[in-house]
Structure 1
């Protein structure tokens, strides 16, 4: 590493060009310096894990993304209140709707034949492989796959049958 080179081949000239670019985009030299610093750190961390063909292009892309993220955070600040204080819990109406939809989905799953329901739950909720399910239930992998496909088709048919005013039950 020479006096004009930062880690992983980033030159001092490239850093200066990045800061100048960010000053033009943001209007703030201090912000530009901070983002350039963070971008270089992220590039160095990324390059320690992955091979990068064009470090300069990636550095500028990281910096632009960091600037966009910063501007989004700034835009979410309303009258001195940041999004840290925004209540993200669903409204009562939304909670009731979600509860109804969940109950509808549970009814649809309960309407499946027991073996098909078991296969679907193991595959989609427990994330078991076709082979694991087949061993546990004494089925071939192909049979397990067919049960999953048929269960999903049954759920789709239930959903289509229970559409109310153009709104899907889940």
Structure 2
């Protein structure tokens, strides 16, 4: 068991409590749900692979809260209800911003035409045919640029340690 993993959870216990308190009306249940969250997190996490213990614990907390609501059947269950506000996940927010900067860097490093095709397809939602027409190329060429862009992303993500 990783000492860093445990310290991270202990350090963020109050944030877990605040999150669960914001979702469960019965304050007497909150401590039990926090303990359940910590127990599940510690028993299920592969501490060597989880890079953000607090973010992982927040996902477990969502599941614990949903399980509680299902058992109690007194409160609605929905993704909008268990959405985690940014103030509960400052480390996750920072991690997401860094990943976004890294992804932008990977895309910016692509050759200009490949980047243009990728952005039009994946970000702007244009069809292959629309891209081909706008850039004066064949649909097959568009497909090749998209494939190569996805390969560039995969290599960049692997270099950042995001995938095995």
TM-score, with length taken from structure 2: 0.49
TM-score, with length taken from structure 1: 0.47
